[in-house]
Structure 1
Amino acid sequence: MPATVLVLVETINDYLPILEHQGFHLILAPTPTERSQAISTYGGKIEAVLTRGPLGLHAEEIAALPNLKIICVIGAGYEQVDLQAASDRGIRVTNGAGVNASSVADHAMALLLALVRDIPRADSAVRRGEWPKIMRPSLAGKRLGILGLGAVGMAIAKRAANGFDMSVSYHNRQVRNDVSYDFCPTPTELARASDFLMICTPGGLGTQHLINKQALDALGPHGFIVNIARASVIVTADLISALEHRRIAGAALDVFDAEPQVPDALKALNNVILTPHVAGLTPEATQGTVELVGQNLLAFFSNRPLLTPVELPPAIRRAMR
């Protein structure tokens, strides 16, 4: 009998036949209402869940799925998946680290170019019949700081260094001995060493609020910040204040604290570019992530090693009553 997979992701329908052709039975539940109904109606049949980081899978939902065996996360981040609850039940978790790195890096560089060169405002002015001659900085020769030098950060670094002649620095949990880029020991020191600061680190408690007022002040009034990672990495109130008072030059954001809600204060600013969490949404990346999910599912249900397992915390043994 084919395994039943609950699909919570809303952007991959065109590629779900990949999983169906592999023999999996899919239950689609992309909205909160459908999600709740699917878990209530089919909870006993669901053996796998396909989700993404911000959608996650919560402890009470895991408890309502008695036959759940594996959670597959689209993309690298899994910050809203309750890893402790999964570990306690012996449920495996996988992610899609690295699959969409090229697409995310492309979007990050597009945001940086549009922000620094002020493309949206120039476009709007021409459409209004205006012809402003606004002088904006160049990217060539500037200093790029990358917070989180994983697959996405590396893809951005290569584009910046090789395509735009930028110098690259980074901050990571650990120094990477396989790169020649300069390591900065703290996020604030990275910001101080940067003209442009790219946020590429995963979300979650380990990276929450790494960028705060101190780091933004270190970036300075001529500095720009781009976030294609998770909004939780930046203190949003501190960012808004820095933008409003021009303590930094501008920001481009693809991620927000309460998606799809975006603070009105950000919408009102003319030194901000906003996109709706689409950095990784390309046909190539989406197909690749779904294919990886299929490979992980086939491996799991065939008792073979997972391709991209997520490390789980130790299970908590609860005393018997």
Structure 2
Amino acid sequence: MEAHDRESQEPPQVLLLKPPPDFKLFGEEAFPSEKVQFLKAWKSTLPLDEFLKTHAQSVEAILSSGGAPVTAEILRLMPAVRLVMTTSAGLNHIDIAECRRRGISIANAGTVFSEDVADLAVGLLIDVLRNVSAADRYVRQGLWTTKGDYPLGSKLGGKQVGIVGLGSIGLLVAERLVAFGCHISYNSRSQKPSVPYPFYSNVRELAANSDVLIICCGLTEETHHMINKDVLSALGKEGVIVNIGRGPIIDEQELVQCLVQGEIKGAGLDVFENEPDVPKELFAMNNVVLSPHSAVFTWETFKDRQKLVVANLEAFFSNKPLLTPVVDE
């Protein structure tokens, strides 16, 4: 439908399958726009499939968050959909192949989260190496007065840091750690001629030549459990792993075993394989820092993300180019 045909009609509908986190934090006007209206599936008394069939011909766009997968079945029930807009940078909750088959465009949050995620990656690493959270608990429990000084930590400067996935987040992590005096190398789908860091085509070899491994890549069939027992063993007893990508990139059972048995030194984890369930073995480990998938959770970035989502939706319904389209590489 042409933009001028919409002027005399109701704003086009955008389907929301579940309330995004923004609604809890900012209220249901978190994505303010007079040019679109949000159809909130969770408010209907109808079963989801019946609700979707009822609106099958009127909904042309879906706004999805990580907790609301856009599956082939959802898309089958919504034949008029031409855009899937996700509030995240990751795409593992969207059936990309089905979208491509149906000619459905995809837009994501682009790089709006990259700086925050890179900051947390560095924060987790410093916390693990310098025992920040563990020493905090030590002081709060009154142990400083009864047991004396907390055990020594490890220096950040001079560490060999391997980054898995040198996209916008990985590059920002590298820049930050170079400033701390770290030496960067990386693994990615392909070598990037424009960056000065050594490239490893094999993630095990990267781990074997690193003191620290930071996971910054997306979750795909290829990266699922890419960090396995072999890679963790290559990282070694003095190695630290940080994950701000997606939980299933690491074989979590193997990671827990390596930590329990002292086969790696520590871990900083913002993501987990079966969120929000976290292996209980990790809770008592002072060499493990846990974060509830909150790398992107800052007020400033949520506001920026909301503006970006609205701008993409308004561009789509005005027949203008998307601001952050997802294109196949």
Q: How many residues get paired?
A: 311
Change (3 A) 1:105 1:22: farther
Contact 1:50 1:71 in 2 (8 A): yes
Aligned to 1:243: 259
Name the amino acid aligned to 2:15: L
1:152 and 2:152 equivalent? Answer: no
CA distance in 2, matches of 1:210, 1:72: 28
1:12 and 2:6 equivalent? Answer: no
Shift of 1:174: 1.0
Contact 1:97 1:151 in 2 (8 A): no
Match for residue 317 of structure 2 among 282, 292, 301: 301
Aligned to 1:259: 275
Contact 2:33 2:310 in 1 (8 A): no
Partner of 2:21, secondary structure, is coil
Name the amino acid aligned to 1:212: N
Aligned to 2:33: 21
Cα offsets for 1:163-219 (capped at 9, x unmatched): x11111111111111111111121111111211110000111121122111111111
Change (3 A) 1:312 1:182: closer
Bigger mean CA deviation after superposition, 243-252 or 123-132: 123-132
Describe how 1:88-167 pairs up with structure 2 within 5 A: 88-131=101-144, 132-162=149-179, 164-167=180-183
TM-score, structure 1 normalization:
0.89
CA distance in 2, matches of 1:114, 1:149: 22
Describe how 1:194-233 pairs up with structure 2 within 5 A: 194-233=210-249
Divergent runs of 4+, >6 A = none
Contact 1:69 1:90 in 2 (8 A): yes
CA distance in 2, matches of 1:265, 1:29: 38
Cα offsets for 1:79-112 (capped at 9, x unmatched): 1211122223222111122110001011111111
Shift of 1:15: 7.9
CA distance in 2, matches of 1:30, 1:111: 36
Name the amino acid aligned to 2:307: E
Change (3 A) 1:218 1:59: same
Aligned to 1:317: none
Shift of 1:284: 2.0
1:66 and 2:79 equivalent? Answer: yes
Cα offsets for 1:238-283 (capped at 9, x unmatched): 1111111110011111111221122223334332211111001112
CA distance in 2, matches of 1:133, 1:5: 54
Unmatched segments (≥5 aa) in structure 1: 314-321
Change (3 A) 1:248 1:90: same
Bigger mean CA deviation after superposition, 227-236 or 41-50: 41-50
